[in-house]
Chain A
Amino acid sequence: MIENNTREKEEKELSGNSRRDFLKKSSVITAIALTPVAAVKASDLKLDEKLSDAIEQMPLSIEINGQQHNLKVEPRTTLLDLLRERLKLTGTKKGCDQGQCGACTVHIDGVRALSCLQLAVMNDGAKITTIEGLSDGDKLHPMQEAFIKHDGFQCGYCTPGQIMSAVACIHEGHANSETEIREFMSGNICRCGAYANIVNAIKEVKEGGAI
Chain B
Amino acid sequence: MSKKHLENADMETAMSRVDGRVKVMGAAKYTAEVQLPELTYGVLVESTIGQGVITALDTKKAEWAPGVIAVISHLNTPGVPEYKLQNQDVIQKQLRVFDSPNIYYNGQPIAVVVADTFERARYAASLVKVTYAKQQSYSNLEDNLSKAVVPKKAKSDPKGFTTDFLRGKAEAFRDAEFQVNEEYIQPSEAHHPMEPHSIIATWEAADKLTLVDKTQGSQQTAASIAKSFQLPPENVKVLSTYVGGAFGSALRVWPHEIVAILAAKKVQKPVKLVLHRNQMSYMVGYRPYTLQKVAIGASKDGKIVGLSHASYGKTSMYEEFTENVLIMSRMMYDIPNVDTKYRIVPLNVSTPAPMRGPGEATGSFALECAMDELSYKLNMDPIALRLANYASQDPDKKMPWSSNYLKECYELGAEKIGWNKRKAQPDANQEGEWKIGYGVATGTFGAFRGGASAKATFKPDGTLLLQSAIADIGPGTATSMTAIAAKNLGLAPEKISFQLGNSTFPKAPMQGGSNTVATVGSAIVATCDNLKVELAKRAAVQKPEWKNAIAKNIKIVGTQLINSDDASSKVEIASLFSQDNLAELVVKGDAAPGEESKKYSFYSFSVHFIEAHVHELTGVVKIKNAVSVIDCGTVVSPKTARSQSMGGIVGGIGMALMEEVVLDDRTGRTVTASFGDYHVPVQADIPQMDMMFVNERDPYLNPMGSKGLGEIVIIGVAPAVANAVYNATGKRVRDLPITPDKLI
CA distance A187 to B649 in the complex (A): 20
CA distance A193 to B277 in the complex (A): 18
User: A194 contacts which chain B residues (CB < 8 A)?
Assistant: 643, 646-647
Report whether B63 and A193 are in contact in the complex, using a CB–CB cutoff of 8 Å: no
Report whether B57 and A151 are in contact in the complex, using a CB–CB cutoff of 8 Å: no
Asked if B196 CB lies within 8 Å of chain A CBs, one says yes
Given A2-B57, A182-B684, A186-B684, answer yes or no on A149-B11 (Cβ-Cβ < 8 Å): yes
Report whether A25 and B64 are in contact in the complex, using a CB–CB cutoff of 8 Å: yes
Report whether A94 and B24 are in contact in the complex, using a CB–CB cutoff of 8 Å: no
Report whether A186 and B195 are in contact in the complex, using a CB–CB cutoff of 8 Å: no
Report whether A140 and B25 are in contact in the complex, using a CB–CB cutoff of 8 Å: yes
**Nearest 4 CB-CB pairings of A with B:** A91-B26, A193-B650, A157-B244, A193-B647
Closest Cβ neighbor of B677 among chain A residues: A100
User: B16 contacts which chain A residues (CB < 8 A)?
Assistant: 148-149, 151
Report whether A100 and B69 are in contact in the complex, using a CB–CB cutoff of 8 Å: no
Report whether B25 and A131 are in contact in the complex, using a CB–CB cutoff of 8 Å: yes
Report whether B119 and A131 are in contact in the complex, using a CB–CB cutoff of 8 Å: no
Q: Which of these binds chain A: B44-52, B441-449, B472-480, B570-578? A: B472-480
Report whether A156 and B68 are in contact in the complex, using a CB–CB cutoff of 8 Å: no
Among B11, B28, B118, point to the contact of A150 (Cβ < 8 A).
B11
CA distance A140 to B69 in the complex (A): 43
User: A190 contacts which chain B residues (CB < 8 A)?
Assistant: 194
Q: Which of these binds chain B: A13-21, A34-42, A107-115? A: A13-21
User: A21 contacts which chain B residues (CB < 8 A)?
Assistant: 64
Q: In angstroms, how far is the closest chain A Cβ from the Cβ of B676?
A: 6
Report whether B17 and A26 are in contact in the complex, using a CB–CB cutoff of 8 Å: no
Asked if A103 CB lies within 8 Å of chain B CBs, one says yes
Report whether A2 and B277 are in contact in the complex, using a CB–CB cutoff of 8 Å: no
User: B27 contacts which chain A residues (CB < 8 A)?
Assistant: 91, 132
Among B28, B119, B123, point to the contact of A81 (Cβ < 8 A).
B119
Among B20, B245, B274, point to the contact of A155 (Cβ < 8 A).
B245
Asked if A181 CB lies within 8 Å of chain B CBs, one says yes
Q: In angstroms, how far is the closest chain A Cβ from the Cβ of B114?
A: 10
CA distance A38 to B262 in the complex (A): 36
User: A88 contacts which chain B residues (CB < 8 A)?
Assistant: 35
Asked if B1 CB lies within 8 Å of chain A CBs, one says no
Among B24, B76, B194, B647, point to the contact of A157 (Cβ < 8 A).
B194
Among A52, A95, A130, A200, point to the contact of B194 (Cβ < 8 A).
A95
Interface residues, chain B, with chain A CB atoms under 8 Å away: 11-12, 16-17, 19-21, 23-30, 32-33, 35, 56-58, 60, 63-69, 75-76, 115-119, 123, 192-196, 242-245, 247, 274, 276-277, 473-476, 639-640, 642-644, 646-651, 674-676, 680-684, 686, 689
Report whether A96 and B675 are in contact in the complex, using a CB–CB cutoff of 8 Å: yes
Closest Cβ neighbor of B101 among chain A residues: A1
Given A101-B675, A191-B192, answer yes or no on A154-B475 (Cβ-Cβ < 8 Å): yes
Given A96-B674, A157-B244, A192-B245, answer yes or no on A81-B118 (Cβ-Cβ < 8 Å): yes
User: A98 contacts which chain B residues (CB < 8 A)?
Assistant: 277, 674, 676
Report whether A96 and B277 are in contact in the complex, using a CB–CB cutoff of 8 Å: yes
Q: Is the interface of B mostly helix, strand, loop or mixed?
A: loop
Asked if A135 CB lies within 8 Å of chain B CBs, one says yes
User: A197 contacts which chain B residues (CB < 8 A)?
Assistant: 643, 646
Asked if A199 CB lies within 8 Å of chain B CBs, one says yes
Which of A89, A153, A187, A188 has the most B CB atoms < 10 Å from its CB? A153
Report whether B66 and A188 are in contact in the complex, using a CB–CB cutoff of 8 Å: no
Among B11, B68, B194, point to the contact of A191 (Cβ < 8 A).
B194
Q: In angstroms, how far is the closest chain A Cβ from the Cβ of B131?
A: 10
Report whether A94 and B274 are in contact in the complex, using a CB–CB cutoff of 8 Å: yes
User: A188 contacts which chain B residues (CB < 8 A)?
Assistant: 682-683
Q: In angstroms, how far is the closest chain B Cβ from the Cβ of A152?
A: 8
Among A1-18, those with CB < 8 Å from B are: 1-2, 7, 10-11, 14
Given A26-B64, A101-B194, answer yes or no on A91-B25 (Cβ-Cβ < 8 Å): yes
Mask of A93-125 contacts with B, CB within 8 angstroms, 1/0: 111111011010000000000000000000000
User: A76 contacts which chain B residues (CB < 8 A)?
Assistant: 119, 123
Given A22-B66, A96-B674, answer yes or no on A156-B473 (Cβ-Cβ < 8 Å): no
User: B76 contacts which chain A residues (CB < 8 A)?
Assistant: 7, 11
Interface residues, chain A, with chain B CB atoms under 8 Å away: 1-2, 7, 10-11, 14, 19-22, 25-26, 52, 56, 74, 76-77, 81, 84-85, 88-98, 100-101, 103, 130-132, 135, 140, 144, 147-151, 153-160, 163, 181-183, 185-200
Report whether A10 and B60 are in contact in the complex, using a CB–CB cutoff of 8 Å: yes
Report whether B643 and A92 are in contact in the complex, using a CB–CB cutoff of 8 Å: no
CA distance A187 to B680 in the complex (A): 11
Q: Is the interface of A mostly helix, strand, loop or mixed?
A: loop
Report whether B60 and A148 are in contact in the complex, using a CB–CB cutoff of 8 Å: no
4 new A-B contacts at CB < 8 Å, known A81-B118, A189-B675, A197-B643: A95-B194, A97-B276, A192-B245, A192-B474
User: B58 contacts which chain A residues (CB < 8 A)?
Assistant: 2
User: B11 contacts which chain A residues (CB < 8 A)?
Assistant: 149-151, 200
Q: In angstroms, how far is the closest chain A Cβ from the Cβ of B540?
A: 42
Among A81, A100, A198, point to the contact of B675 (Cβ < 8 A).
A100
CA distance A65 to B57 in the complex (A): 46
Report whether A19 and B23 are in contact in the complex, using a CB–CB cutoff of 8 Å: no
14 A/B residue pairs, CB under 8 Å, sorted by A: A1-B75, A14-B63, A26-B64, A81-B119, A100-B277, A100-B674, A100-B675, A148-B21, A154-B644, A155-B244, A157-B30, A160-B26, A195-B682, A198-B683
CA distance A2 to B192 in the complex (A): 37
Closest Cβ neighbor of B28 among chain A residues: A156
Closest Cβ neighbor of A23 among chain B residues: B66
Q: In angstroms, how far is the closest chain B Cβ from the Cβ of A151?
A: 5
Which of B17, B57, B242, B247 has the most A CB atoms < 10 Å from its CB? B17
Q: In angstroms, how far is the closest chain B Cβ from the Cβ of A107?
A: 13
Q: In angstroms, how far is the closest chain B Cβ from the Cβ of A5?
A: 13
User: B28 contacts which chain A residues (CB < 8 A)?
Assistant: 156
CA distance A135 to B25 in the complex (A): 7
CA distance A156 to B18 in the complex (A): 12
CA distance A131 to B24 in the complex (A): 8
CA distance A156 to B473 in the complex (A): 9
Closest Cβ neighbor of A183 among chain B residues: B684
Given A144-B25, A154-B643, answer yes or no on A193-B649 (Cβ-Cβ < 8 Å): yes
User: B63 contacts which chain A residues (CB < 8 A)?
Assistant: 10, 14
User: A90 contacts which chain B residues (CB < 8 A)?
Assistant: 26, 29-30, 32-33
User: B25 contacts which chain A residues (CB < 8 A)?
Assistant: 91, 131-132, 135, 140, 144
Which of B25, B192, B642 has the most A CB atoms < 10 Å from its CB? B25
CA distance A88 to B639 in the complex (A): 32
CA distance A151 to B15 in the complex (A): 10
Given A88-B35, A157-B245, answer yes or no on A193-B193 (Cβ-Cβ < 8 Å): no
CA distance A7 to B71 in the complex (A): 12
User: A193 contacts which chain B residues (CB < 8 A)?
Assistant: 646-651, 681, 686
CA distance A189 to B658 in the complex (A): 14
Q: In angstroms, how far is the closest chain B Cβ from the Cβ of A99?
A: 9
User: B75 contacts which chain A residues (CB < 8 A)?
Assistant: 1-2, 7
Report whether B689 and A56 are in contact in the complex, using a CB–CB cutoff of 8 Å: no
CA distance A56 to B16 in the complex (A): 48
User: B650 contacts which chain A residues (CB < 8 A)?
Assistant: 192-193, 195
Given A97-B277, A182-B684, A193-B649, answer yes or no on A2-B56 (Cβ-Cβ < 8 Å): yes
Q: In angstroms, how far is the closest chain B Cβ from the Cβ of A67?
A: 16
User: B56 contacts which chain A residues (CB < 8 A)?
Assistant: 1-2
Report whether A22 and B23 are in contact in the complex, using a CB–CB cutoff of 8 Å: no
Q: In angstroms, how far is the closest chain B Cβ from the Cβ of A54?
A: 13
Q: In angstroms, how far is the closest chain A Cβ from the Cβ of B14?
A: 9
CA distance A52 to B116 in the complex (A): 14
Closest Cβ neighbor of A16 among chain B residues: B69
Closest Cβ neighbor of B71 among chain A residues: A14
Q: In angstroms, how far is the closest chain A Cβ from the Cβ of B357?
A: 13
Q: In angstroms, how far is the closest chain B Cβ from the Cβ of A167?
A: 12
Closest Cβ neighbor of A27 among chain B residues: B64
CA distance A41 to B140 in the complex (A): 57
Q: In angstroms, how far is the closest chain A Cβ from the Cβ of B280?
A: 9
